[in-house]
Amino acid sequence: MHLIPLSAELRSVAVLRAGYVVAASSLVVEKDVDPETTLLTYLRRKLGLCGTKLGCGEGGCGACTVMISKYDPFQKKILHHTANACLFPICALHHVAVTTVEGIGNTKSRLHPAQERIAKSHGSQCGFCTPGIVMSMYTLLRNKPKPKMEDIEDAFQGNLCRCTGYRPILEGYRTFAVDSNCCGKAANGTGCCHSKGENSMNGGCCGGKANGPGCCMNEKENVTMMSSSLFDSSEFQPLDPTQEPIFPPELMTQRNKEQKQVCFKGERVMWIQPTTLQELVALKSQYPNAKLVVGNTEVGIEMRLKNMLYPVILAPAWIPEMNAVQQTETGITFGAACTLSSVEEVLRKAVAELPSYKTEIFQAALEQLRWFAGPQIRNVAALGGNIMTASPISDLNPVLMASGSKLTLISMEGKRTVMMDEKFFTGYRKTIVKPEEVLLSVEIPYSKEGEYFSAFKQAYRREDDIAIVTCGMRVLFQHGTSRVQEVKLSYGGMAPTTILALKTCRELAGRDWNEKLLQDACRLLAGEMDLSPSAPGGMVEFRRTLTLSFFFKFYLTVLQKLSKDQNGPNNLCEPVPPNYISATELFHKDPIASTQLFQEVPRGQLVEDTVGQPLVHLSAAKQACGEAVYCDDIPHYENELYLTLVTSTQAHAKILSIDASEAQSVPGFVCFVSAKDVPGSNITGIANDETVFAEDVVTCVGHIIGAVIADTQEHSRRAAKAVKIKYEELKPIVTIQEAIEQQSFIKPIKRIKKGDVNKGFEESDHILEGEMHIGGQEHFYLETHCTLAVPKGEDGEMELFVSTQNLMKTQEFTASALGVPSNRIVVRVKRMGGGFGGKETRNTILTTVVAVAAFKTGRPVRCMLDRDEDMLISGGRHPFLGRYKVGFMKNGKIKSLEVSYYSNGGNSADLSHGVMDRALLHLDNSYNIPNVSSMGFICKTNLSSNTAFRGFGGPQGMMIAECWMSDLARKCGLPPEEVRKINLYHEGDLTHFNQKLEGFTLRRCWDECLSSSNYHARKKLIEEFNKQNRWKKRGMCVIPTKFGISFTVPFLNQAGALVHVYTDGSVLLTHGGTEMGQGLHTKMIQVASRSLGIPTSKIYISETSTNTVPNTSPTAASVSADINGMAVHNACQTILKRLEPIKQSNLKGSWEDWIKTAYENCISLSATGFYRIPDVGYNFETNKGKPFHYFSYGVACSEVEIDCLTGDHKNIRTDIVMDVGTSLNPAIDIGQIEGAFVQGIGLFTMEELRYSPEGNLYTRGPGMYKIPAFGDIPTEFYVSLLRDCPNSKAIYSSKAVGEPPLFLSASVFYAIKDAIYSAREDSGVTEPFRLDSPATPERIRNACVDTFTKMCPSAEPGTFKPWSVRA
């Protein structure tokens, strides 16, 4: 075995040993390579290239995307493709070039067009996902300099973003597209085709000149100019493919050299890369248990997340026979190491060139590959790996099994060919392949004449998701007839292996393809594809129903093809009923269309005054180049240590013993810290009901018991896994239902009462009762919790770099744990990669532990949580249960409401009281309810404490209001939009908490939304569509929102600012708010720029810190721009007042002149500013006071289409009209509206946290937990900011915008419910039904009752132990 140094080309700004910077590329020769090291770790730690980010560590978010380039000796060309650096083994980089985001452009010289366009089109908010998205786009442009819009959308299937709502990213990158479905005139600027026609959302505009001169909107006198152009694409630099860096000549010279076997040995793993098939077979005989790895997309995850260890890894990627593709007489043979992307390419070519009857199987395989993971995974994952992993939910194995694909195996004893049939998989993740055998190739056969094939898959999310159920179905007819000769139905997700429905297949042979066969097949399948009610994965009725739904789709598809192929006079098939045809259509999504409308700044506003202008986020360019520094990007200190948490595996138990002795033998181990190491108080938490480390009892899975400190992250992880803890189990409370039964509540119980509820019920024509459950939500900020603690060595001083929204509590809790006063602790925050409320208090559970470790060791200590740890430990949005009784009149007018809210608070109070307060204060949404009686209970359970999340209880409170509102409209038999409208508040009305509504613009938003969305005309079209389609249904709904602005804890409504002016005239600004992507720093600089009358270029914000502005309120409750803006303004006014005499004496002077003079006259050029919101405060006991400073309003109208057979839905169109006052920055505000809306789509239709009955969280990463992806946003997405609605209560007449729009996505949920009603009516079911949130495919399918659902009845609750429970 030759031990050769690994040489890879890393194309980035890398500092070589000689100390000079090479901008283009550098050849990296690495001698000591550990096979367990990933490319991401290597880039960040070894080369200091921190542009590539860690988002999930499992290839599910795309934050770590890089471009891999290599010369392919088989295709004789250079290939570029994207890959996930978090999974890519550094050993696989031998003779490969890697391009990271730093290597394509930077802010010092020039940005690459892929970087410039995402920045200038406002497609980067927190910026943590931006480098990965830039690299996906860059790689696409390297392969296709003139892509189609569809190529662009496909390129992003493996990238997630939690901030933007995706629309601005697609809009910016659309400018690269050749088709772009647009005239290309200034990319939706003036005169663009996208700004015309009935779809445009120009707030009732004729669309004639897209609000340019001569537009109806400008004909009225003094009318405000509206603009739909957030960026000007004519400013973009063109893409010049000739300017891209060339493939490294050093690596090209390697191509003619004979490859030699390579071996790398690490601490625990040996990696061998053979070059011939003989070497590989010999090695597999020597190491029969060795894993073969091509893309590392499965083994990498098993080793990191499932704690598996494979001491020997064989990498067959260089072996010619394993990469060969051959067309034979019977099919196409692929080498087992062929990547899925290359398989896709070959099959696509075959489908284009061969007669269609021969490619039925290829077309089905392509349909499965289209939704198989993301491009970053498909580019590296091998076909053979997919088969040998033997996953029961593999997308491809059912296709290979049903088609009778042949596998060639090889060992020292020779070759053998096996069929991929029912005998191939012998058990969960086991096959008939012997340990010493290697899968050499796979033959996918051609289909024959009279043979038809389909494949189906249903997942939580269409893009980049694992299947719930997947299948391959093949039928062969006797020549020229519709009589079945052979049928094969293969399913994944219905057993521990991929299975064939053998009994059903046998029974159907020899039968005619007709209605009778369909009925028998469904009956047989329902019997054969049975699942235990406790089956792993849950969703038992849904999965069983899918097996029938898929067969029905297959039946119709084949029927359609038969009647087309046998269109002679003696065609024996029944025709497919016209209203059934849509059930056979494959998923198709049109490219997005969108318009954003906002009010232009008044004529005459000074050029340097950017308030009201769509100014680009000030960090966007840095974020797009990977230069923006996040907490874990801070360079490592000389003697820094790494910490990994040790957490409870039980939801409720006594700790009997903790044994860290085994951990001490791990290399690099330094120490273990636990409760006894806390120098100050171990008591912590907002309500002092938590501990830094658990002492005697653990109260949730993920409860922090201790932490291991070691020299590297890898060593600390390994040592943490070696800590042994013994427990005595206690019975946990997991669900709201269990807490109610055991009366486990966190007191006090809050109430709001108004009027006489009983009298209201007596006067009502109808009374409705019901309940609704709303699931929780994981924040899924792309940057997980991170802390770096640096002890200063004297007087207990410590500096903390933290990803937090709440510096004050972080400082206070750390000081308390260390037993020092707060003045010894400095907390610094540059920016966060997203927060959404998840970093308002829960970061402190990590920060205090890291601080204790740094105190104990006296050395800097760093910890960034892995995604699975973060999701387990840090809690999320509170699940809610609402029970209501509502009284109303025949015309739909509400008289009386009695409602109880129950939230799942988790194991501590945290912010649960505030969340429940806001839920109760929003129980009316926007409706005037004369009589109200409400109660709010916080359930204490054994889950990680739930916490703040965008909306803070408001969305849950309003969701239950919309639930009874939609039931009520149905009961009255009236159109829901009419019932909603007659119940809306009017200007001057009192809410149920007795606050008078002033500046109530909601009715304006309502009318404008109905008109711009063409609501009534489209409603008729939907009714028509539903009449013509039995298995696809559309629905539409319009929903208002009213959101109260201010902290409900009165003393938090305060803010401070600090302004320093330096003698060169530059200004350093600091305020109490933190930047997490919401553009707060950008807005504050705009405010200071207007206040001081100087350009924004002269003002800079470096960071937020406790030693500049003390006692800051958390950046939360949407008020940060309001309160910090006023504080900044106040500080600037102080400076201006001091400068006034100097300005008067030199009116023609410049800003720099005045500052110089002031300094020379000993005038202070530093000032603090302060602001508090006046007159807020509310008393629940008396129902008096004013909880909110003002309200933000908005209305959304959404249309969806559901597939009644699978529960899939697509968001067709959304129109939003939002009142944000006079916008400080319309680009940022529209970005917030779209981002909140898409996050809400996740909350109400996709994201589901799943727990075991014992309280163990299953959904711990993007593999199991699905946030919306690029393809989930509405195809048509129109946002309009209400014009002429200044808000006198906030800085420069603006309004808060962070949280209010989130609830508008309930319009999607109720549009789905509307569509389900239509499906149920077709089945003859008209009674009301309960639909809980989120409306996942499972809930949608189960609600669309039909013959298939009736064949799969659910087991009686209580007769079995479910796999998962709803918290």
Q: Which of 298, 1247, 1299, 1338 is catalytic?
A: 1299
CA end-to-end span of the chain: 55
Whether 869 is catalytic is no
Query: Closest Cα to residue 649, out of 698, 692, 580?
Result: 698
Q: Determine contact, residues 720/643, Cβ cutoff 8 Å.
A: no
Q: For residues 296 and 340, is the Cβ–Cβ distance under 8 A?
A: no
**Which single residue is written with the structure tokens 């889950």?**
943
Q: Six-digit token pair at 298?
A: 């499965």
Q: Tell which residue, 1119, 1074, 1069, has the closest CA to residue 1089.
A: 1069
Query: Residue 1057 forms beta bridges with which residues?
Result: 1071, 1169
Using CB atoms within 10 A of its CB, is residue 883 exposed (0-12), middle (13-18) or buried (19+)?
middle
CA 1236 to CA 873: how far, in whole Å?
24
Amino acid at 300: G
**Is the backbone peptide bond immediately before 679 cis, with ω within 30 degrees of 0?**
no
> Quick one: tokens of 349?
């070519």
User: CA separation (Å) from 208 to 95, 216, 994?
Assistant: 57, 8, 46
CA pair distance 1098, 1068, nearest whole angstrom: 9
181 C-beta neighbours (distance < 10 Å), count: 15
Are the C-beta atoms of 619 and 1075 separated by less than 8 Å? yes
How many other CB atoms sit within 10 Å of the CB of residue 1204? 28
Single out the residue of 877, 944, 932, 916 nearest to residue 748, CA to CA. Answer: 916
H/E run at residue 983: helix 976-983
Check whether the bond before 614 is cis (ω within 30° of 0): no
CA distance 578 to 857: 74
Which residue type occupies 446?
Y
Could you give the 3-state DSSP secondary structure of residue 82? strand
Sheet holding 697-698, edge to edge: 697-698, 653-659, 724-729
Spatial contact of 614 and 1224, defined as CB atoms under 8 Å apart: no
Distance, CA of 413 to CA of 435 (rounded, Å)? 13
486 burial via Cβ count (<10 Å: 0-12, 13-18, 19+): middle
CB burial readout 1320-1340, b (16+ within 10 A) else e: bebeeeeeeeebbbbbbbbbb
Query: Per residue in 608-625, is it b (16+ CB within 10 Å) or e — as a string?
Result: ebbbbbbbbbbbbbbbbb
What are the backbone angles phi and psi of residue 1029, rounded to the nearest 5°?
-130, 120
Distance CA 258, CA 240 (A): 36
Q: How many angstroms separate the Cα of 1085 from the Cα of each of 628, 1067, 1080, 1128?
A: 18, 10, 9, 9
Q: At what angle do helices 1151-1160 and 1120-1145 cross, to 10 degrees?
A: 80
Cα 1065 to Cα 45, 448, 974, 1161, 1283: the distances in Å are 39, 79, 65, 15, 36
Phi, psi (deg, nearest 5) at residue 379: -70, -20
Give the active site residues. 1299
